[in-house]
């Protein structure tokens, strides 16, 4: 096909005529083009890349994707595109274009000089922030207003836990159904996208949260509340269960014995973490008595309810490894000193020490990976999340690690990529606007130097990131990383507002 030179205005006219994809997305192509021309919206063409669009369709070599402002306006064979002048063109030849990634379990967005740029530099264009408080909401709002470069943010409520809690403020502690309902109403008033439930929440309060969330039309998600049977939490509508907590117990031949031990053990206000340590040890022991029959029953319950599992294998790996394993990770140069110090102290008291403990925890981690794979094969939807702000879990970088763990669990590279793109958007109710590369969807994209379907490790080889239509080429991404490293090297602390370094798990 002979390609005709087109200036910017002519190119938008062509787009209006060619915009069947926009019309399918419910956007009038002519109106879209007119408004884009009037507003002076940026027009960007990614030309010649192999598009891996996040669907089950085949890769599309030598494809073109046209972006106007923060939307994808057209996709199709590059040969069908008029040769544009007056618009920005990104050379995609020999590269692979994928949807922007989502990390669906994060903390610490309010570390504004560190976390938001690290997400973007690693192709993470959307996150689910799992602990909502004033400073996090302020950071989110800066991103929305364009004052801070960062990912799209789905914001949780304050964490809602029982009157005994492992957490320090700003946790919300509730003891009664009335207090639990009030916590949901506060979450609605604060603009939370979901309610985060936690480990020591009582059964009565949990039931009240589930009911109040139904009335408010607000999802709830989080840890397994130990005083609620996990299948019952799924039945009640808990949207996702984090970290595989309790999943080994419910897939064990000795399930009832383990659950009786937990039920007979009170939460200790003087040592609130002791119950969590017991539950984790029982989870470890439960992986040694895995029952395919129990697993089939349990996973079928989750599938029937649409409950997702967020394995967060990357943080599980850290907690199952000896203290020195990550002490020299080169990515530590991006982490403020107060966070590094906090990580070193947590690791010192929480990770295995003796050879026997190290062997046990290594086996435990690999059993968790196998358990995630078994859940996937049973049809349980998985989410890709990292739990960053926990020790040696790095914003952005660690999502790449998590995708590699998903492949280790038995997912194909395509399925692992879909978990962090298409499936993430579906979970968040955003399938119509995000998660795949199609006309009418948001312009969140990552251009890679290698094929992620051949090796999921290619997700690290980033040439360009597009976040809400803003283009960050490799030089800009390198400057972003250098600025973060310089800020932390100069002694920038995690927070200037006096909040402690807190992670939730």
Cα-only R_g, the chain: 23
For residues 106 and 167, membership in a common domain is answered with yes
Calculate mean pLDDT across residues 125-153: 97
Calculate mean pLDDT across residues 126-147: 96
Q: What is the pLDDT of residue 91?
A: 96
Q: Residue 319 burial by CB count (10 A; 0-12/13-18/19+): exposed, middle or buried?
A: buried
For residues 351 and 455, membership in a common domain is answered with no
Residue 285 has pLDDT above 90, yes or no: yes
Mean pLDDT of the chain: 93
Q: What is the pLDDT of residue 2?
A: 44
296 located within any domain: yes
Evaluated on CA atoms 64, 68, 70, 74, the torsion sign reads negative
Residue 308 has pLDDT above 90, yes or no: yes
SS3 for 43?
A: strand
Calculate mean pLDDT across residues 139-157: 97
For residues 319 and 259, membership in a common domain is answered with yes
276 located within any domain: yes
Q: What is the pLDDT of residue 501?
A: 56
Distance (Å, rounded) from C-alpha 40 to C-alpha 12? 11
Residue 17 has pLDDT above 90, yes or no: no
For residues 423 and 302, membership in a common domain is answered with yes
89 located within any domain: yes
424 pLDDT tier (thresholds 50, 70, 90): very high
For residues 115 and 249, membership in a common domain is answered with yes
For residues 385 and 284, membership in a common domain is answered with yes
- The CATH number covering residue 49 comes to 2.30.40.10
330 located within any domain: yes
Task: Give the percent of the chain with pLDDT over 70.
Answer: 95
Calculate mean pLDDT across residues 218-245: 98
500 pLDDT tier (thresholds 50, 70, 90): low
For residues 341 and 206, membership in a common domain is answered with yes
| HSE-CB for 92 with a 13 A CA cutoff | 29
Structurally, the chain folds into a number of domains equal to: 2
Per-residue buried b or exposed e for 275-296, using 16+ beta carbons within 10 Å of the residue's own CB: bbeebbebbbbbbeebbeebbe
Distance (Å, rounded) from C-alpha 123 to C-alpha 461? 10
For residues 476 and 408, membership in a common domain is answered with no
Q: Which of 160, 59, 187 is nearest to 451 (CA)?
A: 59
For residues 110 and 186, membership in a common domain is answered with yes
Residue with tokens 């709002």: 141
Residue 482 has pLDDT above 50, yes or no: yes
Residue with tokens 């927070």: 495
For residues 315 and 293, membership in a common domain is answered with yes
Q: What is the pLDDT of residue 264?
A: 98
Q: Which of 89-103, 151-165, 490-504 has the lowest mean pLDDT?
A: 490-504
Q: Which of 122, 125, 127, 51 is nearest to 466 (CA)?
A: 125
| HSE-CB for 486 with a 13 A CA cutoff | 6
Q: What is the pLDDT of residue 42?
A: 84
Residue 26 has pLDDT above 90, yes or no: no
Task: Give the percent of the chain with pLDDT over 90.
Answer: 85
Domain end, chosen from 418, 435, 452, is at 435
For residues 167 and 25, membership in a common domain is answered with no
| More confident call, 68 vs 303 | 303
Write out pLDDT tens, residues 31-89.
Answer: 777 777 766 678 899 999 999 999 999 999 999 999 998 999 999 999 988 876 778 89
Write out pLDDT tens, residues 351-402.
Answer: 999 999 999 999 999 999 999 999 999 999 999 999 999 999 999 999 999 9
Q: Does residue 372 contact residue 320 with C-beta atoms inside 8 Å?
A: no
Q: What is the pLDDT of residue 1?
A: 42
Q: What is the pLDDT of residue 22?
A: 76
Q: What is the pLDDT of residue 493?
A: 56
Distance (Å, rounded) from C-alpha 473 to C-alpha 338? 31
Q: What is the pLDDT of residue 334?
A: 97
User: What's the token pair of residue 113?
Assistant: 């000089």
Instruction: Give 447's strand partners.
Output: 97, 464
Q: What is the pLDDT of residue 31?
A: 75
Q: What is the pLDDT of residue 39?
A: 64
For residues 130 and 38, membership in a common domain is answered with no
Q: What is the pLDDT of residue 16?
A: 80
Residue 127 has pLDDT above 50, yes or no: yes
295 pLDDT tier (thresholds 50, 70, 90): very high
Q: What is the pLDDT of residue 496?
A: 45
- The CATH number covering residue 325 comes to 3.20.20.140
Q: What is the pLDDT of residue 6?
A: 59
Q: Does residue 180 contact residue 215 with C-beta atoms inside 8 Å?
A: no
How far the first Cα of the chain sits from its last, in Å, is 58
Q: Which of 168-177, 326-335, 488-497 has the lowest mean pLDDT?
A: 488-497
Calculate mean pLDDT across residues 430-458: 97
Range of the domain at 224: 101-435
Q: What is the pLDDT of residue 288?
A: 97
Residue 492 has pLDDT above 80, yes or no: no
445 located within any domain: yes
336 located within any domain: yes
Write out pLDDT tens, residues 248-270.
Answer: 999 999 999 999 999 999 999 99
Distance (Å, rounded) from C-alpha 286 to C-alpha 108? 32
Evaluated on CA atoms 208, 214, 217, 218, the torsion sign reads positive
35 located within any domain: yes
271 pLDDT tier (thresholds 50, 70, 90): very high
Calculate mean pLDDT across residues 334-341: 94
Calculate mean pLDDT across residues 145-149: 95
**What are the two backbone dihedrals, phi and then psi, of residue 6, each rounded to the nearest 5 degrees?**
-140, 130
500 located within any domain: no
Residue 236 has pLDDT above 60, yes or no: yes
Instruction: Give 74's strand partners.
Output: 66
């Amino acid at each position: 096909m002979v390609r005709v030179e087109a200036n910017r205005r002519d190119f938008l006219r062509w787009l209006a005529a060619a915009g069947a994809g926009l019309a399918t997305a419910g956007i009038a192509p002519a109106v879209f083009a007119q408004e884009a021309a009037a507003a002076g919206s940026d027009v960007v063409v990614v030309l010649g890349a192999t598009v891996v669009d996040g669907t089950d369709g085949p890769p599309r070599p030598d494809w073109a994707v046209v972006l106007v402002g923060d939307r994808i306006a057209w996709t199709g064979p590059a040969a069908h595109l008029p040769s544009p002048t007056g618009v920005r063109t990104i050379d995609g030849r020999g590269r692979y274009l994928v949807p922007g990634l989502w990390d669906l379990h994060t903390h610490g967005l309010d570390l504004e000089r560190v976390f938001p740029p690290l997400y973007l530099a690693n192709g993470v264009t959307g996150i689910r922030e799992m602990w909502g408080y004033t400073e996090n909401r302020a950071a989110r709002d800066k991103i929305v207003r364009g004052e801070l470069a960062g990912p799209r943010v789905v914001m949780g409520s304050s964490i809602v836990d029982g009157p005994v809690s492992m957490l320090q403020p700003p946790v919300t502690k509730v003891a009664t159904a009335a207090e639990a309902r009030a916590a949901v109403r506060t979450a609605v008033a604060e603009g939370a996208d979901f309610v985060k439930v936690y480990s020591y929440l009582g059964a009565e309060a949990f039931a009240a949260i589930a009911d109040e969330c139904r009335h408010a039309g607000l999802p709830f998600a989080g840890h397994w509340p130990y005083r609620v049977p996990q299948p019952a939490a799924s039945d009640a509508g808990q949207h996702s269960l984090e970290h595989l907590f309790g999943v080994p117990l419910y897939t064990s031949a000795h399930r009832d014995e383990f659950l009786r031990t937990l039920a007979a053990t009170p939460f200790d206000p003087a040592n609130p973490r002791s119950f969590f340590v017991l539950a984790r040890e029982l989870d470890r022991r439960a992986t040694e008595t895995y029952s395919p029959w129990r697993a089939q029953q349990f996973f079928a319950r989750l599938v029937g309810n649409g409950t997702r599992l967020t394995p967060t294998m990357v943080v599980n790996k850290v907690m199952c490894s000896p203290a020195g394993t990550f002490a020299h990770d080169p990515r530590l140069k991006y982490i403020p000193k107060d966070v590094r110090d906090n990580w070193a102290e947590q690791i010192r008291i929480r990770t295995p020490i003796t050879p026997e403990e190290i062997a046990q925890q290594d086996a435990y981690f690999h059993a968790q990976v196998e358990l995630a794979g078994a859940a996937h094969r049973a049809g349980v939807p998985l989410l890709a999340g990292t739990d960053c702000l926990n020790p040696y879990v790095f914003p952005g970088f660690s999502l790449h690690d998590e995708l590699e763990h998903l492949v280790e669990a038995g997912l194909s590279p395509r399925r692992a990529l879909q978990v962090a793109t298409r499936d993430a958007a579906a979970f968040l109710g955003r399938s119509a606007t995000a998660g795949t590369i199609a006309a009418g969807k948001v312009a969140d994209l990552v251009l890679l130097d290698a094929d992620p379907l051949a090796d999921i490790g290619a997700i690290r080889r980033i040439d360009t990131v597009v976040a809400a239509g803003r283009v960050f080429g490799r030089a800009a991404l390198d400057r972003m990383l250098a600025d973060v490293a310089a800020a932390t090297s100069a002694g920038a602390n995690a927070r200037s507002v006096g909040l402690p370094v807190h992670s939730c798990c």
